[in-house]
């Protein structure tokens, strides 16, 4: 076994890969060879470190120096200075947004972004090479499967998951152990285990990152689930837009089969479990369990009424147990450390941790895992670093298109299933999008409704027609053509869809509209009654005006494509609103801050 004095960990997640981390890995290996360090230093491609905003990320161990935004031209300097001479390259060391401190003398867990986190589902992401099963085994990988198969009955495994309090991380929050128990109690000659890796929420990348950084955690958990309910086959339904995740899953499954951890007679216990991948075409509705199963079968991905539930009649009309990626990522640790260990984390009714994809108007865009019960304020300000450019926080969207927008007054809401629902939103799968003062909440509602209309499977009339009518009203409002009574029409349509749509996605489709009406009704009224967008966002409601700060330099007039600006040199200019295209070119060009939006 080779022993190295230093390891260079380079993020190989989608975000950093798109910024050129694959090139960095090649250059590190090349330069390490050139400087004669190949027997002393090893380069490892990992999964996502979480702090996507700082990518491409490179961490050098054993000292734990965190380099951010590393470019190809920085590689030789890191090798020649840090790896050869032991001198850290200070100008590349990550600087915390809030404290302006570098981490050169701090442990990774002392950085604000990581300080409030408790990584269980993400425990190996950014730590191991996801394409090397030996590294997963070194992190206690497959010990939980061995423990379950050799020392526990199927009933004991289910009871342990039930006692842990683990709830489904796909959005609904149904007790995982109870779902397993239902499938266990279904009697049939064949049962299936399935994994929902379809993740279709805008801005969500939790499941993708887990599969990219720690695919064996999901594979091991599915094998445990298969043993528990009596299933010999499993399916991972993953969207084809996740090529890195798909590749690493395929590599991991092949390695597990070669090591005898998948297949026949696992650990010589007589338990057989085979795992297959099915690619989805990116339909949001296939995140709904019955639609997902139809898609695996090669049918049109659309939901069906329940009962019967999948635990009784699912894939190929056989009992099927379905969980999402993050739910599975917790299972092995529960079996390994016990239900009491997991139960001690979180709140009374929401146990463990939750992974969030933190995005939008936030400094520390990235992947976050915090204990249930952590407040929105902690996640957004302490972990996320607040809004960039000194902008004022306005709202946070949780739960994706099925969730809601929560205002500043609710920032102290604990993040758990019950409190988010009580606040007017929901947990969802874990997207968390932050908005600042420049976001128009009416247009945000229109954006999500546009997404829902586009993604509706069209099977039921309330969702197919009702959401389309809601989108038409919202579009009219942001275009400055809103009418008295539009708000009431939106509310009536929303309640009707919620009560009559076929599946959970349709029933929650109107949540972004209802939550913005609840907390930002004044913005709707300003659009309709005053023909004004308070956030100065909606183009048709904007008006550009030149103030007395104007020096008459004519720079704005020279860039105006419509010839809407007139005035003499060294005299205050004016804009003809009838000619103005509202392109903003004049405002960008003005050096004196003399042009404003109203």
Lowest mean pLDDT among 170-179, 336-345, 372-381, 483-492: 170-179
Give the residue-averaged pLDDT of 106-126.
89
Q: How far apart (Å, rounded) are the C-alpha atoms in residues 202 and 218?
A: 23
pLDDT at 99: 64
Identify whether residues 447 and 382 lie together within a single domain. no
Where residue 579 sits, what CATH number does that domain have? 3.30.70.20
Residue 218 has pLDDT above 80, yes or no: yes
The per-residue pLDDT for 101 is: 67
Q: Quick one: DSSP state of residue 391?
A: P
> Is there a domain that residue 491 lies in?
yes
pLDDT of 100: 66
Rg (CA), the chain: 27
> Same structural domain for residues 220 and 325?
yes
Sign of CA dihedral 344, 347, 349, 353: negative
What number of H helices and E strands is found in the chain? 26, 18
Question: Residue 393 falls within a domain, yes or no?
Answer: yes
CATH number at residue 410: 3.10.20.600
Q: What is the pLDDT of residue 104?
A: 56
Instruction: Output the average pLDDT for the chain.
Output: 94
* Average pLDDT value for residue range 477-487: 95
Reduced to 3 states (helix: H, G, I; strand: E, B; else coil), residue 533 is coil
Q: Same structural domain for residues 153 and 255?
A: yes
Q: Of 412, 436, 460, which closes a domain?
A: 436
Last residue of a domain, one of 319, 343, 367: 343
Beta-bridge mates of residue 61: 7
When divided into structural domains, the chain yields a total of 5
300 in the same domain as 152: yes
337 is a domain residue: yes
Phi-psi region of 198 (alpha: psi -120 to 50; beta: other; left: phi over 0): alpha
For residues 360 and 400, give the distance between their C-alpha atoms in angstroms, rounded to a whole number.
12
106 pLDDT higher than 70: no
Instruction: State what percent of residues in the chain have pLDDT above 70.
Output: 98
pLDDT for the residue numbered 406: 96
Q: Do residues 157 and 53 both lie within one domain?
A: no
Residue-wise pLDDT tens digits, 15-58: 999 999 999 999 999 999 999 999 999 999 999 999 999 989 99
Q: Binning pLDDT at 50, 70 and 90, where does residue 1 land?
A: low
Residues in the chain: 598
Q: Are residues 170 and 217 in the same domain?
A: yes
Instruction: Examine the domain organization and report whether 218 and 318 are in the same domain.
Output: yes
Identify whether residues 267 and 226 lie together within a single domain.
Answer: yes
- pLDDT value, residue 71: 97
Is residue 347 very low, low, confident or very high in pLDDT (cuts 50, 70, 90)? very high
CA distance 309 to 304: 10
Name every residue whose Cβ is closer than 8 Å to that of residue 110 and which is 6 or more positions away in sequence. 103
Angstrom distance (rounded) from CA 101 to CA 13: 26
Query: Are residue 363 and residue 481 in the same domain, yes or no?
Result: no
- Domain range for residue 374? 353-436
Same domain (yes/no): 446, 583: no
Task: Quickly state the pLDDT bin for 504 (edges 50, 70, 90).
Answer: confident
Q: Is the pLDDT of residue 470 over 80?
A: yes
pLDDT tens-digit series, residues 48-97: 999 999 989 999 999 999 999 999 999 999 999 999 999 999 999 998 86
Task: Provide the pLDDT for residue 3.
Answer: 86
pLDDT given for residue 543 in this prediction: 87
Q: Answer whether residue 109 shows pLDDT above 80.
A: no
Look at the block and give the residue holding tokens 């040199």.
569
User: What residues have CB less than 8 Å from 357, skipping those under 6 apart?
Assistant: 203, 204, 205, 206, 209, 366, 367, 368, 430, 431, 432
Query: pLDDT digits over 233-252, tens only?
Result: 999 999 999 999 999 999 99
Q: Which helix (H) or strand (E) holds 321?
A: strand 320-324
What is the model's pLDDT at position 126?
A: 95
CA distances from 188 to 184, 224, 432, 543 (A): 10, 19, 40, 67
pLDDT of residue 305: 87
Cα–Cα distance for residue pair 232/273, rounded to 1 Å? 4
Q: pLDDT tens for residues 358-414?
A: 999 999 999 999 999 999 999 999 999 999 999 999 999 998 888 899 999 999 999
3-class SS at 282?
A: coil
Distance CA 194, CA 231 (A): 10
């Amino acid at each position: 076994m080779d022993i190295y004095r230093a390891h260079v960990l380079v993020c190989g997640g989608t975000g950093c890969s798109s910024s050129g981390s694959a090139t960095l890995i090649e250059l590190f290996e090349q330069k390490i060879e050139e400087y004669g360090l190949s027997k002393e230093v090893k380069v490892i491609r990992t999964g996502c470190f979480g702090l996507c905003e700082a990518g491409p990320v490179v961490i050098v161990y054993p000292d734990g120096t965190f380099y951010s935004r590393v470019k190809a031209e920085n590689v030789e300097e890191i090798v020649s200075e840090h790896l050869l001479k032991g001198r850290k390259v200070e100008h590349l060391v990550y600087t915390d947004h809030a404290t302006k401190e570098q981490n050169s003398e701090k442990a990774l867990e002392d950085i604000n972004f990581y300080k409030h986190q408790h990584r269980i589902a993400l425990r190996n992401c950014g730590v191991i090479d996801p394409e090397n099963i030996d590294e997963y085994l070194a992190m206690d990988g497959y010990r939980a499967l061995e423990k379950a198969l050799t020392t526990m009955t199927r009933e004991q495994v289910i009871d342990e998951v039930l006692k842990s309090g683990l709830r489904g991380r796909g959005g609904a929050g149904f007790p995982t152990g109870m779902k397993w128990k239902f499938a266990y109690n279904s009697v049939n000659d064949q049962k299936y285990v399935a994994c929902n890796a379809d993740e279709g929420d805008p801005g969500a990348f939790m499941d993708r990152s887990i599969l990219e950084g720690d695919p064996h955690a999901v594979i091991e958990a599915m094998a445990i689930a298969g043993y528990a309910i009596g299933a010999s086959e499993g399916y991972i339904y993953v969207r084809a837009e996740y090529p890195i995740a798909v590749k690493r899953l395929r590599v991991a499954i092949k390695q597990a089969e070669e090591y005898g951890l998948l297949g026949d007679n696992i650990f010589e216990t007589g338990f057989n479990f085979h795992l297959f991948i099915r690619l989805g075409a990116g339909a949001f509705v296939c995140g709904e369990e019955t639609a997902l199963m139809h898609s695996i079968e090669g049918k049109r991905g659309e939901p069906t009424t329940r009962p019967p539930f999948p635990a009784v009649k699912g894939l190929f009309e056989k009992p099927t147990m379905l969980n999402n990626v993050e739910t599975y990522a917790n299972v092995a640790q529960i079996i390994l450390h016990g239900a009491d260990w997991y139960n001690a984390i979180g709140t009374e009714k929401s146990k463990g941790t939750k992974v969030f994809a933190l995005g939008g108007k936030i400094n520390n865009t990235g992947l976050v895992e915090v204990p249930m019960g952590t407040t929105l304020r902690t996640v957004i300000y302490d972990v996320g670093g607040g809004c960039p450019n000194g902008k004022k926080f306005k709202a946070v969207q949780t739960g994706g298109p099925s969730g809601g927008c929560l205002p500043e007054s609710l920032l102290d809401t604990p993040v758990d299933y019950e409190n988010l629902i009580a606040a007017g939103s929901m947990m969802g799968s874990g997207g968390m999008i932050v908005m600042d003062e420049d976001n128009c909440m009416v247009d945000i509602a229109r954006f999500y409704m546009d997404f829902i209309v586009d993604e509706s499977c069209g099977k039921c009339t309330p969702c197919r027609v009702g959401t389309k009518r809601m989108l038409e009203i919202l579009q009219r409002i942001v275009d400055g053509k809103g009418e008295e009574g539009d708000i009431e029409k939106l509310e009536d349509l929303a309640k009707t869809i919620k009560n009559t749509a076929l599946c959970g996605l349709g029933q929650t489709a109107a949540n972004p509209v209802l939550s913005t009406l609840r907390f930002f009704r004044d913005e709707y009224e300003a659009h309709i009654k005053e023909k004004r967008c308070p956030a100065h966002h909606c183009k048709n409601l904007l008006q550009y005006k030149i103030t007395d700060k104007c020096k008459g330099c004519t720079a704005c007039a020279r860039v105006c494509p419509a010839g809407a600006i007139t005035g003499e040199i060294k005299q205050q200019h004016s804009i003809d609103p009838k000619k103005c295209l509202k392109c903003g070119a004049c405002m960008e060009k003005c050096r004196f801050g003399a042009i404003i939006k109203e």
